[in-house]
């Protein structure tokens, strides 16, 4: 039963180290996550956001207990930092770290931490401002054509199609946490847009730059996360899957698309001086 009592979860050395590394990156390579992620963990300004992830990191570092909501926050932030190019470290994790090793450690963490109740608490405690954005039902946002065509190999297309298809089939999954970041102001917009992205990728059609960024984001979270994605469905193919994801991030996640993704969220993002 979920309570406000802090509880201890027995993490091994590798699991604890991964959490500390991933949370610490929000002050470094994952700073773009510090722009967009604060409302997902119930914070609305830079000061509270920094206090939140540093507190989680420091308590985990000393093997301390956390309440259920904070375990959910910590796990989601670790998933995003490790897995996402749009709101985390992405392929740059490879600088001095091993994605193939850490994705297996992440799956172990998820088995220990994630519960339905913790996921529900995280969804209920988000602090996304109400959107004043009026989106088209297909989520097109008046986009212009892609700056450069994107050519996917079979593994990349398969991973992207599988994750987008999961969201298209179960659009309620991740809606509360992901739709504001993906620029979709209503559930109708979100459901329609995920279906559109899935169809385009599966049929090998080109997308606009913003939609390539959104498709990448949903692929990242869909593969990596069990809080807002379908990570448990990829067990047994994690090492190959993370390699394919890193390839997609290099192919799609350029500066132009990252900026478009950030600028088209449904809420004001936090700007940091470089």
pLDDT band at 130 (very low <50, low <70, confident <90, very high): confident
Least confidently predicted of 7-11, 27-31, 208-212, 220-224: 27-31
Q: For residue 239, what pLDDT is reported?
A: 87
Residue 96 carries which DSSP code? Answer: T
- In the predicted model, what is the mean pLDDT of residues 191-204? 97
Q: What is the mean pLDDT of residues 67-84?
A: 98
Please give the pLDDT value at position 272.
Answer: 72
Q: What is the pLDDT of residue 205?
A: 94
The confidence band for 140, taking pLDDT boundaries of 50, 70 and 90, is low
pLDDT at residue number 4: 82
Predicted pLDDT of residue 3: 60
- Average pLDDT (179-195) is 97
Distance, CA of 257 to chain centre: 16
Mean pLDDT computed over every residue of the chain = 92
Residue 82 to residue 106: CA distance in whole angstroms: 9
pTM of the model: 0.94
Q: For residue 51, name the pLDDT band (cuts at 50, 70, 90).
A: very high
Give me the residue label for tokens 């989601």: 76
pLDDT of residue 1: 45
Is-contact 69 121, C-beta < 8 A?
yes
Per-residue pLDDT, averaged over 47-73, amounts to 97
Q: Above 70 in pLDDT, residue 133?
A: yes
- CA triple 140-142-144, angle to 5 deg: 100
> Which segments of 34-173 are extended strands (E)?
none
What percentage of the chain exceeds 70 in pLDDT? 93
pLDDT higher than 90, residue 221: yes
pLDDT of residue 271: 80
CA of residue 199 relative to chain centroid, distance = 21
CB contact at 8 A, 216 and 85:
yes
Six token digits for residue 220: 């990242």
What pLDDT sits at residue 7?
Answer: 95
The residue among 223, 155, 214 whose CA lies nearest residue 189 is: 214
Distances from the Cα of 250 to the Cαs of 84, 92, 145, 182, 193, in angstroms? 11, 10, 20, 20, 23
Please give the angle made by the CA atoms of 18, 108 and 12, to the nearest 5 degrees.
60
How far is residue 152's CA from residue 157's CA, in Å, rounded to a whole number?
Answer: 6
Is pLDDT of 2 > 80? no
pLDDT above 80 for 150: yes
Minimal CA–CA distance to 120: which of 267, 259, 1, 219?
Answer: 1
pLDDT the model gives residue 144:
57
Residue 36's nearest CA partner among 176, 174, 210, 178 is 178
**Which token pair is 2?**
């979920």
């Amino acid at each position: 039963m979920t309570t406000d009592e802090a509880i201890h979860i027995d993490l091994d050395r590798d699991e604890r180290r991964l959490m500390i590394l991933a949370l610490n990156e929000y002050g470094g390579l994952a700073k773009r996550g510090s722009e967009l992620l604060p409302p997902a963990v119930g914070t609305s300004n830079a000061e509270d956001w920094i206090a939140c992830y540093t507190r989680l990191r420091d308590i985990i570092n000393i093997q301390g207990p956390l309440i259920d909501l904070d375990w959910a926050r910590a796990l989601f932030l670790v998933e995003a930092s490790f897995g996402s190019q749009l709101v985390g470290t992405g392929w740059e994790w490879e600088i001095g770290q091993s994605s193939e090793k850490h994705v297996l450690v992440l799956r172990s963490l998820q088995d220990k931490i994630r519960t339905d109740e913790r996921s529900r608490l995280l969804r209920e405690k988000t602090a996304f401002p109400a959107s004043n954005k009026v989106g088209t039902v297909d989520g097109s946002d008046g986009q212009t054509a892609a700056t450069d065509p994107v050519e996917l190999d079979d593994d990349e297309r398969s991973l992207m199609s599988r994750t987008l298809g999961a969201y298209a089939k179960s659009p309620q999954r991740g809606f509360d946490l992901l739709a504001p970041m993906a620029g979709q102001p209503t559930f109708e917009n979100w459901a329609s847009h995920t279906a559109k992205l899935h169809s385009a990728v599966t049929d090998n059609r080109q997308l606009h730059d913003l939609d390539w960024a959104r498709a990448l984001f949903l692929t990242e979270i869909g593969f990596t996360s069990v809080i807002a994605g379908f990570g448990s469905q990829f067990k047994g193919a994690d090492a190959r899957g993370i390699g394919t994801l890193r390839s997609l991030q290099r192919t799609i996640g350029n500066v132009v698309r990252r900026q478009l993704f950030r600028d088209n969220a449904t809420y004001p993002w936090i700007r940091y001086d470089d």
